[in-house]
Structure 1
Amino acid sequence: MAECDFIVVGAGSAGCVLANRLSADPANNVVLLEAGGSDDHPMISMPLAWMNASAMPRFGWGTQSEPEPYLDDRVQPLPRGKLMGGCSSINGTMYIRGMKADYDGWRDSGLPGWGYDDVLPYFKRAESNWRGEGPEHGGDGPLSVTPMKTHPELYPAFIKAAKKLGYPESEDFNVAKPEGFGIPDCTIRSGRRNSTAKAYYEPVQNRRNLHLIGDAQATRILVEHGRAVGIEYRQGSDVKRLKARREVIISAGAFHSPHLLQLSGIGPAAHLQDMGIGVLKDLPGVGENLQDHPIALTFWKAAKDNTFDKYLRLDRLGLAVARWMLTGRGFPAQSPLTVQGFYRSSDEESRPDIQFQVSHTSYEARPWFPLWRKGAGHQLSAGCLLLNPESRGRVSLASPDAAENPRILLNFLKEEADRRKMRDTVRFMRKFFATEPVSDYVAAEIAPGSDAASDEAIDGWLRATVMSGGHPTSTCAMGTGDRAVLNEQLQVRGIDALRVVDASAMPGIIRGNTNAPTIMMAEKASDMILGKSAALRTAA
């Protein structure tokens, strides 16, 4: 059994950050354990290709949900990155922090040190924002945060429509109280994806005290006398062990962190016993409390030929990709997003609870060429994400074999409040697309179609089409109650020298995309681990 000071399991959004920060002191010997392989592939580095990359088996775990009982028993694909950078290497690159009230809510639930004023310095430390250093932003962090370019014709039209409906234009969604319509920032540097592998790991990969073990899946946390002392992992056909003198840190994500804990005998006792696994620590909250942002979708036929479809003609696409590979410029350097908005579904909401996105392309977009095959046509695709869902899911073992993915149940639309809000978002999207000047760019509603007018018809559409926003959280949640898995220091309750640092640790899902908050949590966790948690503070 080889030894080191710290083992970090998972080289994803959190793991690469921890590897960088913990190894900054040459006295710390750090091992980063990653189940996947390299992220060195044009499909990963090209921002435009993210949806294709996330669906490629070579880059993912192949995770999917159980048949969802409130979605017509549909099985949901749930892509998770299995490569350097993890999900930061296959996501849509969108950089959204969430809202001040999200983090203040964590603090007020009994988690000191997690309020907005506590976490803002770590958001700032992480980023090199195109706006430069300021009260809300960092100017020299590892992670490149750049603006998404706007469509010269569609963006102004959509902003005008938003203002007609009473929504302001927002120039920055990464402030304490983001609200309104605008265009988001992205984790892109010089036209290429800036994942945590690129931003945090690669610049320090030659440190003598930092060691990467790739293509190595953790199978069990080794615990002796109530203390985590190492990791058992499988590499090829070999099973190996690695010892940690100081700490084991699990950063495997909202699905695989609880999976690994349960495989190790840490979790709901009855479930572990059913799986034939000895119980080391009965923690009933492990794998429970799964939260994600469901998306309601609508599709529209464009009235003009100014959508992204024209760029997908095979010759134009080929030339653009070649130019991008040489220069990092051109339309492959970002996704075709038209506008984004954060709005409140009702006056009763204290802050936005819906994230609205429009893309000037079809969800079925594909390369085309005359006499070869047709494209999807000129379309607009819209989606509304429910940011504060009441429905809860779970992650559990399918078997005691670590090679088998966990069972995942999202339980989307289980709660009536979620069904009502999602139903209302379909009507909101219709209202928005009927508002001038956006209405000038719309020829017809493709789906769900004008016949889907009643609550029952819209509910049927939602059951058939609602999908995951790719933001799973809270399956190893921090907290103070009996269901809490972690304390405010991200330490597993009842097991010494073991922490979980990733989106699974969130006590509740934030109202926004989850990659930026996960990076923030890893930045903060590194200071906790090294005894520097009080080093960064801002005035209340």
Structure 2
Amino acid sequence: MEKTVVSSTELDGDYDYIVVGAGSAGCVVANRLSTDKRKRVLVLEAGGKDNWIWFHIPVGYLFAIGNPRSDWMFETETEAGLNGRSLKYPRGKVIGGSSAINAMISMRGQASDYDHWRQLGLTGWGWDDVRPVFKRLDDHFLGESEYHGVGGEWRVERPGVKWDILDSVAEAAVEMGIPATTDFNTGDNTGVGYFHVNQKRGFRWSSARGFLKPVLHRTNLRLETGVLVEKVLFDGKRAVGVRFQQQGRTTDVRAKGEVILCAGSVGSPQILQLSGVGPAEWLGELGISTVADRPGVGRNLQDHLQQRAIYRVHGAKTLNETYHSPIGRALMGLEYALFRRGPLTMAPSQLGIFTTSSSHFDRPNIEFHVQPLSLNKFGEPLHRFPAITVAACNLRPTSRGTIRLRSVDPSAKPIIAPNYLSTDDDRRVAADAIRVTRRLMKQAALRRFRPEEFIPGLSVDDSESALAKAAGDIGTTIFHPVGTAKMGLEHDPLAVVDRHLRVIGLDGLRVIDASVMPTITSGNTNTPTIMIADKGANFVLWDAA
């Protein structure tokens, strides 16, 4: 039986811009586009409002990740490189998207990342082009400087808690020849130091809190939540609107200007494919008529895979003991309530180390996230013994994966196949990263804590084959998927959008989110996504002027 489709009159007529997704990027785009009071902006978010306390208390990631209230609960396919394992693949199910459940780490990457984009022919995306955007977005605790700004919407603060054991890990890194740093965001993130975090006075600072909620009073901006987008509507090769489901009804809404996909590296390629934009052979297998054959839609998936080494320690305070102590939990709660400080303000990782895995690299290619806690995986309780996690990730993996439709049902979870550790280079970096971790933990600065390797364990020797297998056994994502609708030149067969983020071969349709990165940045990807959103929104405004 044919379904009834409600016209856009139910949403007060047509809009100039329809923004699909109110995540990290969509909140910024909605903010910028609605500054023109003559333009009507509709934002469609699949998740809900951020009206749950654990979206705002920083340590709430422990309760949000793996919770169907806040996480889309995606999983990867079983991965050969992970020895047949499948990984949980968290994505935020709320306004603010993954910025509402992520690590809150403020990280731009390296100048060379963006200069590489420029060298690919993407003029306007070099370090000298994007650095002023990062600075303009900043509201930084370090104040105005060559690298940082104040007064922007993206709040950055110093962490609200320190741990003696992490100070000693930092000393150990310096003993290894890694310089200390107070700022990873100058274009060169070499060094060891505490991460800066997206928080304000002890609360998480998500994209929704920074960019969307302060402007929802604008009469030309409308937010709809609980919306499942079925597809983009086309008139020939021009996007003219969106069809979506909400509360049991199907609605068509029209865009006089542009449809802008900000649904992320999982959601945007999924919607494109449902709309007939993607690899023709994939679409044909599901009986979807091809509007535009773009082979790169859903390909080029890149992600940061980390090896989560865990070390038992002695004579050191870690969060593990406090977590399991009623008195400890009460004191944590009291400290937070009175001073907005302490462990409840903790990001998942506090101490960062950027270095090389071997002499073959001329700039950092691995990033350590060091935590004063340990657990088997997010969503499970912390261990009952004192321990720290020392996780090293490959910053520039050469493995490439795919995201494709499982069926034509828009509510069906897509097939996510990151293809981790599928190249010799990635397996070598993973093995070397474990070696660097072991060397770090043997430094004199840590000797008094008598660290004992719990995972991967001393049964794993230092041979290439043993370490490569161990990397597959303990490797896990840091939740940084990018690249599935990459920027590129028209002659690039995998390019999906041009340097102004317009879908190649179509009119009235853009993608503005992490999926457009041609290559992954050398660090946490949320702040680069915010930058991409700001630049992308400006492209829309310039083209409309």
TM-score by length of 1: 0.95
1:245-279 deviations in Å (ceiling 9; x for gaps):
10100000001100000000000001101011000
Q: Secondary structure at the match of 2:528?
A: helix
Per the alignment, do residues 109 and 374 of structure 1 end up closer, same or farther by CA in structure 2, a change over 3 Å counting?
closer
Which residue does 1:19 correspond to in 2? 30
Q: Are 2:430 and 1:422 aligned? A: yes
Q: 1:293 to 1:374 in 2, by over 3 A?
A: closer
Residue 247 of structure 2: aligned partner: 236
Separation in structure 1 between the aligned mates of residue 262 and residue 204 of structure 2, nearest angstrom:
21
- Which of 287, 296, 308 aligns to 2:307? It is 296
User: How far is 1:122 from its partner?
Assistant: 1.3
Question: How far apart in 2 are the matches of 1:127 and 1:374?
Answer: 34
- 1:456 and 2:468 equivalent? no
Deviations 1:86-137 (A, max 9, x none): 0000101011000101001101101010011111121112110001111111
Letter in 2 for 1:64: E
Task: Work out whether 1:469 is the aligned partner of 2:478.
Answer: yes
| Aligned residue-pair number | 530
Aligned to 1:495: 506
Residue-by-residue CA offset, 1:233-253 (whole Å, 9 max, x unaligned): 110211111111101000000
8 Å CA contact 1:336, 1:361 repeated in 2? no
Cα deviation, residue 365, structure 1? 9.3
Structure 1 residues not aligned, in runs of 5+: 535-540
Amino acid across the alignment from 2:330: G
* Residue 281 of structure 1 pairs with residue 292 of structure 2: yes
Q: Which amino acid aligns with 1:125?
A: R
Q: 2:359 aligns with which of 330, 339, 347?
A: 347
CA offsets 1:381-435 (integer angstroms, 9 cap, x no match):
1100101111110011100110101101011011011111101111111110000
Does structure 2 conserve the Cα–Cα contact (< 8 Å) formed by 1:16 and 1:201? yes
Q: Could you tell me how far 1:315 is from its partner in structure 2?
A: 3.1
Matched ranges for 1:519-530 at <5 A: 519-530=530-541
Equivalent position SS for 1:70: helix
Match of 1:378 in 2: 386
Distance 1:459 1:367, change over 3 A: closer
- 2:327 is aligned with what amino acid? D
**Cα RMSD (Å) of the superposition?**
2.0
Amino acid at match of 2:193: G
CA contact (8 A) 1:218 1:260 kept: yes
Equivalent in the alignment of 1:399: 407
**Aligned partner letter, 1:49:** G
CA distance, structure 1, for counterparts of residue 15 and residue 532 of structure 2 = 23
Q: Is the 8 A contact 1:289 1:392 kept in 2?
A: yes
Compute the displacement of 1:161 (Å): 1.4
Distance 1:366 1:133, change over 3 A: closer
Give 5+ residue unaligned stretches, structure 2.
Answer: 1-7
- 1:194 counterpart (194, 198, 205): 205
Among 359, 363, 370, the residue aligned to 1:358? 370
Q: Does residue 1:437 correspond to 2:449, yes or no?
A: no
- Structure 2 residue 17 is matched with structure 1 residue 6: yes
Q: 1:433 to 1:18 in 2, by over 3 A?
A: same
Candidates 306, 310, 327, aligned match of 1:315: 327
In structure 1, what is the Cα distance between the partners aligned to 2:263 and 2:322?
A: 37
Deviations 1:168-196 (A, max 9, x none): 00110011111011111110011000001
- Residue 438 of structure 1 and its aligned partner are, at CA, apart by 1.5
Aligned residue number for residue 92 of structure 2: 81
The residue type equivalent to 2:170 in the other structure is I
Give the 3 Å change call, closer, same or farther, for CA 222–322 of structure 1 in structure 2. farther
Counterpart amino acid of 2:530? I
Residue 434 of structure 1 aligns with an amino acid whose one-letter code is K
1:60-95: CA deviations, max 9, x gaps?
Answer: 212111111221221111000111100000101011
SS across alignment from 1:57: coil
Residue 110 of structure 1: aligned partner: 121
